[in-house]
Every structure is written in structure tokens, then in C-alpha cells.
Structure 1
């Protein structure tokens, strides 16, 4: 069982000086699909981060959920708050390892852009509905959003992000196996993101930062929702040690502060573990540059075996007690029906789509698959509240 680590266990944290060999260097970027003149004081990855933050798809994450529905409580995480937390973790880890913080942050902020309303159950429903048209995958959808669906620039569709940021969005979880999701296959014909290799170290940092963030905040949200008790959570590896330490250091602390203090230690232990383990892995692999990280055949950013084993126990607990809790399943089943009904309504009556979407449908010239993909784009981009409102308006029913 792992024990919470403290600040002194992290070792020196580099803040200045040249980036080490594994880092993606802004001055060595592979560039953008559409050439642009660098006319301000920002580097290329900083500009990517800023474009993601200002994208309409990023703003909509505010009303897309993680586990609980958007209207079930103001204190539960949304895709937006989760993405911000992931970005914070990614910057911390990237800085400690001497990697490019801006690239790690950009990938972290963009990693959930492709999610549908109502979390993974909404994605499952849309994937089934799109099965005859190539399916649906949220990572691939994120690429479609940042390369095509965002339309705020005069000279190109999408955000025209650098190759490194697009690569990180597409494969931060590792090489993408065949057959490729259709949205990735479509873009792969335009620009080769080398989908069979690992991503940069910065993108790998974003992926593990996602794990750190949701393992920590799902325990917190589950406790707040009373899906399990503090005593039950304290039986988990890592979590139990954190609560025990808080009880020793701060005896008699009220429940709210006790939970916050304990989970802060859990959070810190996961981050420290990634940093220390990844430092060792980078020394072992000894990549000479960012491309060597991609060709290494193994990830260079990882948890220790002991931490990974503990996290599997925590995930199994959360799966049973939170993600598959009867109250959560009941509501998810009801809202999944919203997606299942909205998609065929728009597919059969494309005149119900906003005018700009109707223009795109007409441009498909009767191609049923392309029309279905546009309808899928529209439904996938909805927030929870907008999907519920549109479903109620079009069906005349209320969720209840």
C-alpha cells in the first residue's frame, strides 16, 4: 500500500533554463496545417491553449456532466471544472519534469471537448445510433471539433492547432489501434498524426493528470452525494492512510475539513508518485528528443506499480458504489432516452436544425452517412440542459 507523500519528497522542481531532451520545444514544432505568421509574444503552444479556452466547445463543458447530471447540484464536477483541474495537475507535473507546460496544459484542456451530453451513457447511446455510419468516439470527436466544427477564423475551419497539440488530443491515452474511429480516419487523410506511436511526454502527462483528477474528485463527489460513507472510503488503499494521518495531525476536526485535508493528501500522493516514477522511467529510456519518446514503444510517464495497484482497487470501488449506484443508473437510463430520441428526430427532419447546420446538410448532397455525421455532431455538442430543453420542446414531454 502506498503512503501519502509530502512536498519534500518531490525533490527539486526546475522552473528556469533550457528544456531537457524529452520535451517538445516550441521552436521545433512541426507547425500548423495552415501557415500563420507569429505576430505576438506568445509561443505556438501558448496560442493553442488560448484558442482552446476561447472555443465555444470549451465553454459548453460548463453544462456537461461527469457523473451527476448538471441540475443535480452546483457542487459536483462538470466537464469544465474537471478539465481545469486536469490542466492544473498537468502543469505541475510537466514543470517538475522539465517538460513543456503550455503543451501539457493545452492537451489537458482539450481532452474532454468531444464528450456528449450526459456523460458516458450519452456517448454509448450516440455510438449505437451511429454504428451503421462509423460509430462515435469522444477522442476522435475532439479532433473533429478543433479541426472542423469550430468556425471563428476567416482563413480556415477549426482552430488550426499545432501538430503536437493535435497529436496529444488524438492519442494521449496511447497509440490508436485499427480500425480507426471514422473521425480520426477522416483527419488522418489530411494530416498524419502518427497514430500508431505513443504521444509526446507532455500528452502522456495530460493523460495521467486526468486519472489523478477524477480518482480524487470522484471520491469527494461520491461522499458529498452520500453514495458511500467516510468509513467505507477509509477502507481503501491510499485513502485510508490519508484519513488516518489527518486524524492524528488534526484530532477533532469537523467532517468537511477532515475530508478536504485527507483528499488533498491523496491528490498529492498521486502527483508525487507520477513525478518520481516518470523521472526514473525517463532516465531508463533515455530519449534523446521528443520523437524518441514517441518511438520508445512504452510510455515514459506512468504511476509506480504499487500506486497503480492501489488505484485499481479505488476504481473498482467507485465503479460499483458510484458509477453503478442505483440512483445514478436510474437517472442515466432516463437521460439516455433523450439522446436516443433526439438523434432520429433531427435525422428525419433536418429542417429542425439551426440554419447554419442546414446549410452543411445541403452541402452533403443527399449523402446519408455524411448527414448522419452532421446530426451526430450537433447532438454531441449539446449541453445537458440544452438537450433536455430541446427534447421536451420536440416531444412535448418532461423528464419528470
Structure 2
């Protein structure tokens, strides 16, 4: 008598009405659904050509980015200036530096192209428990396609503010790695005040250590196309990230940010707040916020939000928050997104106190965006950015 086994039946795609199509093995080409499972590589040849149908490029004007996604990039060193601060050194290091690749790996072709091309990495080394600030400035990179790599390395228990200031002309793809050692407190501010024709694609990879805190702030005001994608790995217990962003898009400008926070350890915390304003025909902003709470990240406390203020007709703001949770033992998690015009009650309150309507509207915009600027912690820079906002609003009839 033969034995009977009740082996489990493995469901097939055909059982659910799905079949392989003529364009190949459809079952093995299903889109990646989990953020952490995206393909990564430091070699540009490992990525297919960008078409705009990819999940990470679908909101971007890819036809204008071919020089950075498919072209050859100049990876040589460039002129950079920095302020002096005790415990901070700024210099260049080779590709063989062991810190290269510690914080993250490219997920898109432009990032991989920059990684493949760079010859030396700019390094900002931070040490010492006393608070300090350093400004790293670059300007006039030129119109040639360029690839770059930067490392910010905060030693354990160090404290610092590092400001990356960008201006002038550029056609740039780059990667920035941020390493935050145990117990360190680091603020990194990336300011994009490029010329009107500049194109800048940046990926920021951060690794935050045990009981360390990173405050990451992105300010995008200038440039034709600016895409800054911060990715943070909360790798050890007690790691903390506060991610802020402020952007102001004018007519024809495309400002994009794709934020990713990976909670990968117990008792980690994240707060993501991005705010933007849009004015003028063809002004476009994109914000995508991905938060992953992994199965090891018990006790996680996470919240992300994006707010967009539409000032005129003819603009478009895309806002896509995503939250993945793989453990039920968390302190809290949530997300929010809103895009709209002025709050009539705020305008009424100001106008009832004798303020003209046009000035009242500008006060609302200033108050809306100033919350982000005030997070920087550098009075001179905050004042300069407030002045830049005033210049954006000057002569504009917000409606």
C-alpha cells in the first residue's frame, strides 16, 4: 500500500488569472513593493536606461537629464572653500577610503553614474564634543556634466553644524554620505541657490549610530531642476533623525525630493517635515516620503508630513507619503500630506488689524516657510535665507 503525502500546494500566477506575456518572464518582473528591496549598485552599467516609467523617475523630467543619467561625467576635483572651525577638517580622499560606501548604495542610474565617475571624495571630518559650525561652499562648477562624492564623518560624541552651500552654474550628479557616530549630534544643511539654468541631482545617504542624532535640512530655492533625495538608515538602538525641507518653486522650475527613513533598530525615532510654496506657470514640486519600520525596530516613534502652499494658478505639487510597518510593537507611526491655497481665516485676522491684503498674504507665506528656516541654528544663514524668501515674494501678486 503506497503512502499518501499531503504536500502543500504552491499557488501559481495562473491560478489568479495572471499569465506570462510576450515581452518575457512577467512573473519575475513584478514591481518591487517594499522600499528596502530596491536594486542597488555602485556601477552605472548595472542599471537600465532611464525611461521615466521607473518608480523613482516617474515624476522627473527625464528627457532633460540624459547628460547625467546616460552621459559620461567629469569626476575630477573642483574648487571648494570652507570656514575654519576647531575639530573640523575639510579635504580630499581617494576612492579607496574605507568610508566610501559605508552609508548607502545608489538606487538609481544618475547616482550610480556619479559613483562610477568620481576620482576623489571631498571629506568633512568632525570631532570634539564642543559645538561648532563649518560652511563648505562651491560655486561655478560650469555647464559640463560632472559627478561628485562627499563624505561627512562625525566621530562618536562629536557636535557640529555642517552647511553645504551651492551656487552658480552646474550640471551635477552627486552622492553625499553622512556618518554619525555613537552619541554624536550632527546637523547637515544643504542649500541650493543655483543659477536659473542649473541642474542638480543629489542623493544623500546617512547612517546614524547608537544614541546619535542627525538633523538633516534641505533648502532648495535656485536651479532649473533640483532633485535632492535623502536616505537615512537608523542602524543602531536609540538613533534619531529629524529631516526638514523647504522649497520655493517659480515658473518653469522643477524641485523634487524623495525622502527615505529606514528604522532598522530598537527605540529609534524620526520626524520628517517638508514645506514648499509654488508660484508661476509650470512651477512643479515633488515630494515622496518613504518610512520603513523593520521587524527589529521595536519601540519606533515615527511621523512624516509634507505641506504645500499654492500661490498662483498653473502650478503642480505632487505629494506621496508611504509608511511600511513590519512589527506591531511600536510607540507610534503616522503621516500627513496637504496641498492648498491660503487660509482665509488667517488672512481675515491680519486684514482686520489694518494690514493690506497683499502684505497679509506675504506674511502668511513667510510664516509658513520660516518654521523650517528656524531649525538651522545659524543666525547669519537664517537671516540670509529669510532675505532670499523675501526676494522670491517681491513683485509677485499671490492669489
Q: Which has the higher strand share?
A: 2
1 or 2 for the larger relative contact order (CA 8 Å, sep ≥6)?
A: 1
